[in-house]
Amino acid sequence: MSLNETIVRQALQTVNDPEIGKDLVTLNMVGKISVSGSAVQVVIDLTTPACPLKGKIQDDIEQALTRVGADQVDIEWGVQLAGQSHQQQSLVPGIGYVIAVGAGKGGVGKSTMAVNLAAGLVRSGARVGLLDADIYGPSIPTMMGLNEKPKAGADKKILPMQAHGMKVISMGSFVDDEAALVWRGPMLNKALRQFFADVRWGDLDYLVVDLPPGTGDVPLSIAQMVTVGAAVIVTTPQDVAVADVLRAKTMFDTLKIPVAGVIENMAGFTPPGGGVPIPLFGEGGGEKAAKRLGVPLIGQLPIDARVSNQGDEGTPVVLADPQSDIALTMLELAQNVAGRLSVLALERKADTGAGSIQVDHR
């Protein structure tokens, strides 16, 4: 029997998205199918631009179609962001997912994680924005090598700064380095609203938001303004850090923001020349916190001088030293976050009956 579209579609029903556990047809990931003899062309819409298991999906598709007689398989990749519609993001209508990066306390490397998470998503092929919502202690301009101040366009919208393939906005770019902001809640709220509504973000797959540490006004304001796809909680390995993670998780639960998982930073130090990693700040705190909260441990990042050095120099290590162990670990972490977003978005879609976003094939 010769190949046709029906046979191809039935074959693709045997291929599952590895993270979501459902077949490509059921997930509406299969687009246009073209068959010419034993050659097949098919459009596959991934559930996230930074899909960590794209290679496995491709292999599984090729094997499934080979079994039904295809000897040539061409795949065109697109993106279908699941779980919310652009209409839900009334302040930022061109943005697919908002990712909040938070921590129960300061000093755990939250901003470093936000910057390298954003850079990892860029490196995976996504369109990314980075919003520094740490109004009182903005560090993103330094980490991104930005010295200029944002400008306004003809429509009076603020033009985000461009750095390392992403769009960036930070209060640190509007004030002098040594200036201290003494603002109450309403002023914070107004500034955040401007960062969302009055910035010309354009179309983005992800907007990564670096939250201030702790639980305060900023996360509440953001939750009231936009739909946050998920939050990521950054912690360190000490047992005492678990309490801080619990407080952060409670805050996100209260705000109805799903938590994608926990990132454990500073997870051991390997001396120069190699050897057994030394747990300078204890060990196992991130894993314990994740288990207690019932969320995944997304990744564990060791202490590596290149991370802070590159942050001081203004280029995220994911981009500055892309083949280093630490950069590859951070890239995997970013892809894991993207994968978790897809799962959470589809769960939200199932709970609410929300539609999905169709993004032009690229």
Same domain, 146 and 269: yes
Residue where a domain stops, chosen among 80, 104, 120: 80
Q: Which residues pair with 70 in a beta bridge?
A: none
- Where helices occur in the chain by DSSP H, the ranges are 5-12, 54-67, 110-123, 140-144, 185-197, 217-225, 241-254, 285-293, 305-313, 317-320, 325-352
Same domain, 175 and 266: yes
Q: Tell me, yes or no, whether 34 and 100 share the same domain.
A: no
What range defines the domain where residue 253 resides?
Answer: 86-352
The number of distinct structural domains making up the chain is: 2
CB-CB neighbours of 200 under 10 Å? 14
Give the CA-trace dihedral at 294, 297, 298, 302, to 10 degrees.
160
Residue type, 249: K
User: For the domain that residue 300 is a member of, what is the CATH number?
Assistant: 3.40.50.300
**Are 109 and 68 members of one domain?**
no
Torsion of CA 208, 258, 223, 45, to 10 degrees: 50
Residue 360's pLDDT is 37
The answer to whether position 147 is within a domain reads yes
Tell me, yes or no, whether 283 and 317 share the same domain: yes
Q: Do residues 203 and 93 both lie within one domain?
A: yes
Q: Which amino acid is at 303?
A: I
pLDDT along the chain (362 residues), means of 10: 89 89 87 93 84 86 94 88 51 86 88 94 92 84 89 86 94 64 60 87 93 82 88 88 86 92 86 71 80 90 89 92 92 90 75 44 35
362 lies in some domain: no
Q: Are residues 41 and 111 in the same domain?
A: no
* 357 within some domain: no
Same-domain check for residues 50 and 186: no
The amino acid at 177: D
Do 141 and 188 lie in one domain? The reply is yes
CA distance linking residue 185 with residue 8, whole number of Å: 57
What pLDDT, on a 0 to 100 scale, did the predictor assign at position 84? 46
Q: What single letter denotes the amino acid at residue 36? A: S
On whether residue 279 sits in a domain, the answer given is: yes
Instruction: Report the CATH number at residue 41.
Output: 3.30.300.130
Domain identity same for 75 and 204: no
Helix (H, G, I), strand (E, B) or coil at 121: helix
Cα Rg of the chain, angstroms: 21
Provide the pairing of β-strand 161-163 with 166-170.
antiparallel
Which of 80, 108, 123 lies at the terminal end of a domain, its last residue?
Answer: 80
Count CB-CB contacts under 10 A for residue 186. Answer: 10
Contact present, 242 and 297 (Cβ < 8 Å): no
**Residues 220 and 248 grouped into a single domain:** yes
Judge whether 361 lies within some domain. Answer: no
What is the model's pTM? 0.81
* Integer Cα distance of 319 and 281 in angstroms: 27
Residue 42 lies in a domain: yes
Cα distances (Å, whole numbers) of residue 1 to 4, 37, 67, 68, 70: 9, 11, 13, 9, 12
- The tokens describing 318, both together, are 């994911």
- pLDDT computed for residue 86 by the predictor: 40
Does any domain span residue 156?
yes
Q: Which two tokens stand for residue 349?
A: 């879609």
Q: Are residues 308 and 219 part of one domain?
A: yes
Predicted local confidence at residue 357, as pLDDT: 38
358 in a structural domain: no
